[in-house]
Chains A and B, each alone.
Chain A
Amino acid sequence: MDFFVQILVGGLSIGFLYGLSAMGFVMIFKSSSVLNFAHGELLAIGAYFFLAFVTWAKLPILLSFLLALAACFLLGIIIERILLRPLIGEPLIFVIMLTVGLAAMFKGLILLLWGGNLFTYPDFLPKALGVQWGIVRIPPVYGATLIIGTVFLVLFGLFFKFSSQGIYMRSVADNQRAALSLGVHVKRVFALSWAIAALVAGMSGIVLGIINGVNVHDLSAIGLKVFPVVILGGLDSIGGAIIGGIIIGLLENFTSGYLSPSLRDVVPYVVLVLILLLKPYGLFGLKEIERV
Chain B
Amino acid sequence: MDRMLLQLNNVSVVYSDVIQVLKGVSLSVENNRIVSLLGSNGAGKTTTLKAVSGLLKPENGKVTDGTILYRGKEIQNQSPETITRHGIIQVLEGRQPFKYLTIEENLRVGTATRWGKPYRQDLEKVYHYFPALWERRRGLAGYCSGGELQMLVMGRALMAHPELLLLDEPSLGLAPLVVKEIFRIIRQINEEEGTTIVLVEQNARMALQIAHYGYVMENGKIVMEGLAGDLCANPDIREFYLGLSAAGNVKSYTEVKSYRRRKRWL
Interface residues of A (CB under 8 A from B): 163-165, 167-168, 170-171, 174-175, 177-185, 286, 288-289, 291-292
Contacts and interface: CB of A to CB of B under 8 A. Distances in A.
B149 A167 contact: no
Interface stretch (B102-110, B120-128, B176-184): B102-110
Contacts of A184: 109, 112
A182 B155 CA distance: 12
Nearest to A163: B116
Counting chain B CB atoms within 10 Å of each CB, the highest count among A163, A181, A286 belongs to A181
A163 B149 CA distance: 23
B112 A292 contact: no
Interface string B65-87: 00000000000000011001100
Contacts of B157: 182
Given A165-B116, A171-B106, A289-B142, 16 more contacts: A164-B117, A167-B105, A170-B100, A170-B101, A170-B105, A171-B101, A175-B96, A178-B109, A181-B90, A181-B91, A182-B84, A182-B156, A183-B160, A292-B97, A292-B99, A292-B146
21 contacts: A164-B115, A164-B119, A167-B101, A167-B109, A171-B106, A174-B98, A174-B100, A174-B101, A175-B96, A178-B98, A178-B153, A179-B98, A179-B109, A180-B58, A182-B112, A182-B160, A288-B99, A289-B99, A289-B142, A291-B142, A292-B146
B53 A181 contact: yes
B219 interface: no
Nearest to B166: A181
B250 to A, nearest CB: 31
Given A171-B98, A185-B112, A180 B55 contact: yes
Contacts of A174: 98-101
A182 B97 contact: no
Nearest to B60: A89
Interface residues on B, range: 35 or more
B217 to A, nearest CB: 21
Contacts of A171: 98, 101, 105-106, 109
Interface of B: 53, 55, 58, 80-81, 84-85, 89-92, 95-101, 105-106, 108-113, 115-117, 119, 140-144, 146, 149, 153, 156-157, 160
Contacts of B98: 170-171, 174-175, 178-179
A164 B111 CA distance: 8
Contact of A292 (B117, B144, B156): B144
B81 A185 contact: yes
A286 B101 CA distance: 13
